[in-house]
Amino acid sequence: MISATQAGLIGAALVGLGLYGLITNPQPLRKILAFNLIGSGVFLMFGIIARKGAAAGFPADPVPQAMVITGIVVAFAASALAIALVLRLYEETGRVTLRPDAWTKPPSDGAGSE
C-alpha cells in the first residue's frame, strides 16, 4: 500500500498548499486555482481510502471513486461560475478585486433601490 499512503500524504500536502495559496493570493483567479488544488487534494484523500478498501476482487472501493468523479464535475462547474464572475467584473470595471471597500458608492445616490 505504499502508493496509497504516498497519495494520501501528497493529498494532505496539496490541501495545505492550496490553503496557503487561497489565503495569500489576492487575485481571484489565483484563489480559484488554489481551490482547485485543495479540491484535488481532497479527492486524493478519497483515493487512498478507496485503495485501502480494495476487496472482493476490485482493486479499489468503487464508492469513493464515484464520489470523486461527482466531485470533479462539480468542481469544474464551480470554477466555470467563478471565472465567469471574475471576467464579468473585469469587463465592467477594468479591475478585479475582492476588497470590500473598493465598491462602496457614496450614499447620496440610489444605492439599494431597484
Partner 1 sequence: MIAGASADAATAGGGLLALPILLPVAGVLLSFLLGGRQAERIALVLAPVQLGIAIAIAALVWGSGRPVVYILGGFAPPLGIALRADGFSAVMLVTATLLMPAAQLFARASFATPRGTEKRAPFAFWTLLQAIQAALGIVFLGGDLFNLYVALELLTFAAVPLVCLDGRPETLAAALRYLLFALFGSVFYLLGAALLYGAYGTLDIILLSDRIRAEPAVWVAAGLMTAGLLAKTALFPLHLWLPPAHANAPAAASAILSGLVVKGSFVLIVRLWFNVLPALPSAIPGAILAALGSAAILAGSVLALRQERLKLLIAYSTVAQIGYLFLMFPLASGPWAADAWSGGVMQAISHAFAKAAMFLSAGLVAESLGHDRIRGLGGAGRAMPVTFFALGLGGLSLMGLPPSGGFAAKWLLMVATIEAGQWLWAIVILAGGLLAAGYLYRILAPALFGDSLPLEKPPQRSREVVALALALVAVLLAFAPHAFFVFLQIGRPAAMAALR
Partner 2 sequence: MSVLLALDIGLALLVFAVAARTVFARGAFEAVVDYVAYGLLLSIVWVRLFAVDVALTEAAIGGGVTGVLLVGAAARLRGAETVAAEESPSASLRVVAACLCLLVTAVLAGVVLLLPYPGPTLAPESARHLAETGLGNPVTAVLIAYRGIDTMLEKVVLVLAVVGVWSLAPDRFWGGAPGEARAAQPEPTLAFLAQVLPPIGILVGVHVFWAGADEPGGAFQGGAILAAMWMILMMARLTEAPPISALWLRLLLVAGPVVFLAAGVAGAVIAGGFFAYPPGLAKPLILFIETFMTLTIAVTLPILVAGPPRREPVE
Nearer to partner 2, 58 or 103 (CB): 58
Q: Fill in the DSSP letter of residue 108.
A: T
Tell me: does residue 31 bind partner 2 (CB under 8 A).
no
Evaluate whether 18 touches 31 at the Cβ level (below 8 Å).
no
Q: How far apart are the first and last CA of the chain?
A: 60
- On the 0-12 / 13-18 / 19+ scale of CB atoms within 10 A, 39 is buried
Tell me: does residue 57 bind partner 1 (CB under 8 A).
no
Tell me: does residue 88 bind partner 1 (CB under 8 A).
yes
- Give the binding site for partner 1 (CB under 8 A): 15, 22, 28, 31, 35, 38-39, 42, 45-46, 48-49, 52-53, 63-64, 67, 70-71, 74, 77-78, 81-82, 85-86, 88-89, 92-93, 97-98, 100, 102-105, 107, 109-114
